[in-house]
Amino acid sequence: MKILLDARKIEDYGIGTYIQNLFQGIADSDIFECRAIHLRGTRYIELPPESYIRVSSKNYDWREHVEIPFKIRRMKDFYYFSPHYVFPLFVKNKLFVTVHDLIHFKFPHLFKPALRVELGKFFMRQVKKRALLVFTVSQTTKKDLQELFGFEDHRIKVIYNGLSDSFHQSTPQISGLSFPYVLFTGNLKPHKNLSTLLKAFSLVKERFSELRLVLIGVEPDKPFYQLMRDLKLRQRIVIKGYQPQEDVIRYLDGAEFFVFPSLYEGFGLPPLEAMARRKAVISSSGGSLGEILGDSALYFRPDSAEELAEKMSLFMEDRDLREDYENRGFEHSSQFRWQKTIQEYMEAFRAFNLSD
């Protein structure tokens, strides 16, 4: 079986982690003949140099629909594996697609312009028409695909993501921060619901005067800074922006606990990463989070800053409760390994190849 891996989004959050671990694992297996499409100027997965197809067009760039089909025009016997539902439309190859979440369609009011949501619907219809098999990373996303777009059950395969091995390494790292802090990792996209986290933190900041909130991966905009000023949090929030994985681990290890307020996730790697570092997790119940985290997180309603503040106070005041969730989460996180995930994908490919 020959597989063409579209690795252009390898440096993106979320999908980038998926590509780096899954695509590299598939390539390393030596079971399939693999080629990889890479965006010039980005990191590549490790393959022999002759296996790279270098392109200049990103996802969402109209040129991808011309450049990529042209460059792979002689590779008609390769299956095309797209890790995203937006793919080059004029590719003639048999197609596999991964759909991570349907946030744009569940909460369209959060995304501007509206044309982007309509464009997403167009591509989802193309996936439904063209894809031989659609992978999803949770039962929640599978259910959303069926309810919103009418995908047939037998064309969807659910395979959970894994955790990078470095998160399971036991040696604690030093954060370098000299104050107690609560940690969030992610970004500023609307569905991450950071406004609720800031409002909750403002409700507990007087009670825990030394506690700060550290945000990893966040690039603040003007409304975010305005909310910080309105809530009088400028001196209590530390914004670190994008951090490499080894630094994320350091900040996790130094945190009191981890908070994830997202309205909706197709999977939710950050709270699992925190669990693997023996950190108690407070999470919203949005999207797949209850499915993925099980009974190993303390949940709150994502529209309630007051409830989140109560849960944060619980973890600050009840060390035994926090330790219980630390132990629960650590044990739960051991179920999510990329090696297991890669094996499940390879079995799905082999089964499909035999029946094709």
Kindly state the tokens that stand for 131. 């894809």
Largest alpha-carbon pair distance within the chain?
66
Local confidence band at 213 (pLDDT 50, 70, 90 cut-offs): very high
Local confidence band at 97 (pLDDT 50, 70, 90 cut-offs): very high
* DSSP 8-state symbol, 51: G
The pLDDT value recorded for residue 58 is 92
b vs e for 292-320, b when ≥16 Cβ sit within 10 Å of the residue's Cβ? bbeebbbbbebeebebbbebbebbbeeee
Local confidence band at 333 (pLDDT 50, 70, 90 cut-offs): very high
Q: Rounded distance, CA 294 to CA 296, Å? A: 5
> Is 284 within 8 Å of 302 (Cβ atoms)?
yes
Q: What is the pTM of this model?
A: 0.92
The pLDDT value recorded for residue 259 is 98
The pLDDT value recorded for residue 13 is 73
Q: What does the mean pLDDT of the chain come to?
A: 94
Q: Rounded distance, CA 198 to CA 206, Å? A: 14
Closest CA to 324 of 293, 286, 298, 289: 298
Q: Per the CATH hierarchy, to which homologous superfamily does domain 2-162+337-355 belong? A: Glycogen Phosphorylase B; (3.40.50.2000)
Q: Which residue type sits at 304? A: S
> Is 262 within 8 Å of 287 (Cβ atoms)?
yes
Give pLDDT tens digits for 110-157: 877 777 889 999 999 999 999 999 999 999 999 999 999 999 999 999
Q: What is the CATH number of domain 166-333?
A: 3.40.50.2000
Q: Rounded distance, CA 194 to CA 197, Å? A: 5
Give pLDDT tens digits for 232-276: 999 999 999 888 889 999 999 999 999 999 999 999 999 999 999
Local confidence band at 355 (pLDDT 50, 70, 90 cut-offs): low
Give pLDDT tens digits for 300-331: 999 999 999 999 999 999 999 999 999 999 99
The DSSP annotation for 136-188 comes to ESSHHHHHHHHHHH---GGGEEE----B-GGGG--S-------S-EEEEES--
Asked if the domains 2-162+337-355 and 166-333 are classified in one and the same CATH topology, the answer is yes
Give pLDDT tens digits for 63-91: 999 999 999 999 999 999 999 999 999 99
Local confidence band at 354 (pLDDT 50, 70, 90 cut-offs): low
Per domain, the residue ranges of the chain are: 2-162+337-355, 166-333
Cα 115 to Cα 87, 103, 104, 132, 229: the distances in Å are 17, 15, 11, 27, 33
